[in-house]
Amino acid sequence: MTHAYLEHITATLEQIAADGMMKRERVITSPQGGQISVGPREVINLCANNYLGLADHPELIAAAKDAMDPRGFGMASVRFICGTQDLHRELEQKLAAFLGMEESILFAACFDANGGLFEPLLGPEDAVVSDALNHASIIDGIRLCKAKRYRYATSDMADLEGQLQLAREEGARFILIATDGVFSMDGYLAKLPEIKALAAKYDAMVMVDDCHATGFMGPKGAGTPAHAGVAVDILTGTLGKALGGAIGGYIAGPQVVIDLLRQRARPYLFSNSLPPSIVAAGIRALELVEQGDDLRARLFENTAYWRAGLEALGFDLLLGEHPIVPVMLGEAQLAQDMAARLFDEGVYVSGFFFPVVPRGQARIRTQMNAALTREELDRALAAFKTAGTACGVI
């Protein structure tokens, strides 16, 4: 690389740091859990997607280990060449049944699933109507397809109807509405009953990314459609959050849709298949989730207790029912300072700021976990009181 180019990159990094937006990684030296080790320190972890506390569950660890001797370490191949084991098909079939779909297909991550979804299914004669706050992976996936793009303000049903009407007036052959089931920065749930009603009115289909819902929202943890009591056309999701927290994504939907994705979804065709250990642990995670009413109850009890405690201290929270509880701070540097002070107090959180959230809406996104104890939550609330006072937030 040229010296001038490296100087340009260096200046960009220096500006990111000067704006208080530099992301810095702390190195964890323990399994993921409600308490984790960061170097010599033990801290309470309030920012993992480990909603049901399964990331260090002994049965998932055992399932992963037990798969390695008979099935090997890795597949060293994509699925259609020689990368499909019976375990992959077993997990896909179990996921489909769990989600109430005909079939599912595995990807390395849900980012890949969303990235590979739209281009095989939609052409230039078609339209995608996307929520403005959709995850980056949905946005990128839509950019890769040739369908015409429409965007509606988040959860604004009047705007959604206007975009659907416009797409119909402009001659769209097929229309797909794309939305997160849960908007991960805010913890807000998509208005799926209203979206479904508008889809029916304008003969459109509905796709939902359910990464922050699968495993704990709705009956048996089947996700936001089950929570809302509706059926959608396509569901995408992850094994990397409530379902054990490792890696792996999926698309679930009608058999013929999944069959076409196996033929044409580029991240599926050109990426190694998931390792046997991950797939075996995913199968066991699904079994634990289906039996996990107690874990879901504890998760939402913790959520209610945590939200009430923060409100009593005077923090500015976004309203909601989801285990994502954002503490609004406004400025990026304040979010960084607050997170650093909380770490000093024994609580691990991360500041979220532009470009992850809009400028002026920096926050600390706290996330509840079924494995957290009431004593740990009380310690964390005390830490928030100390840090919030020191930083001038409360």
Q: Which residues contact 153 (CB under 8 A, 6 or more apart)?
A: 132, 159
What confidence score (pLDDT) does residue 64 get?
A: 98
Report the pLDDT averaged over residues 27-37: 94
Q: Give yes or no for residue 391 having a pLDDT over 90.
A: yes
Please say whether the dihedral angle defined by the alpha carbons of residues 389, 323, 208 and 279, taken in this order, is positive or negative. positive
Q: What is the pLDDT of residues 193-212, one digit of tens each?
A: 999 999 999 999 999 999 99
Q: Token digits for 145?
A: 């397809």
Within a 10 A sphere around the Cβ of 360, how many other Cβ atoms?
10
pTM for this prediction = 0.94
The H-or-E segment that residue 347 falls in is strand 347-348
Q: Are 48 and 32 in contact (CB under 8 A)?
A: yes
What number is the average pLDDT over the span 106-113? Answer: 97
**Model confidence pLDDT, tens digit, residues 320-369:** 999 999 999 999 899 999 999 999 999 999 999 888 888 899 999 999 99
Residues 6+ apart with CB under 8 A from 85: 71, 75, 273, 276, 279
Q: Is 147 left (phi over 0), alpha (psi -120 to 50) or beta?
A: beta
The dihedrals phi and psi of 176, each to the nearest 5 degrees, come to -120, 120
How, if at all, do strands 362-367 and 324-330 pair?
Answer: antiparallel
Under 8 Å between Cβ of 393 and 310: no
> CA of 281: how far to CAs of 60, 84, 287, in Å?
5, 16, 10
Amino acid at 313: L
Dist. CA 298–CA 43, nearest whole Å: 21
Question: Percent of the chain scored above 90 by pLDDT?
Answer: 93
Of the chain, the end-to-end C-alpha distance in Å amounts to 48
pLDDT of residue 23: 83
Which of 281, 205, 198 lies closest to 245 in space, CA to CA?
281
The torsion angles phi and psi of 253, rounded to 5 degrees, stand at 180, -160
pLDDT attached to residue 175: 98
pLDDT of residue 358: 86
Contacts of residue 39, Cβ cutoff 8 Å, sequence gap at least 6: 27, 29
Distance, C-alpha 245 to centroid of its chain: 11
**Distances in whole angstroms, Cα of residue 219 to Cα of each of 125, 167, 230, 381:** 38, 35, 12, 30
Please list the active-site residues. 184, 212, 241
Q: What is the pLDDT of residues 53-74, one digit of tens each?
A: 999 999 999 999 999 999 999 9
Query: What gap in Å lies between CA 192 and CA 176, rounded to an integer?
Result: 14
Q: Tokens in use for 146?
A: 């040739």
According to DSSP, the β-strands at 362-367 and 351-352 are antiparallel
| pLDDT for the residue 355 | 83
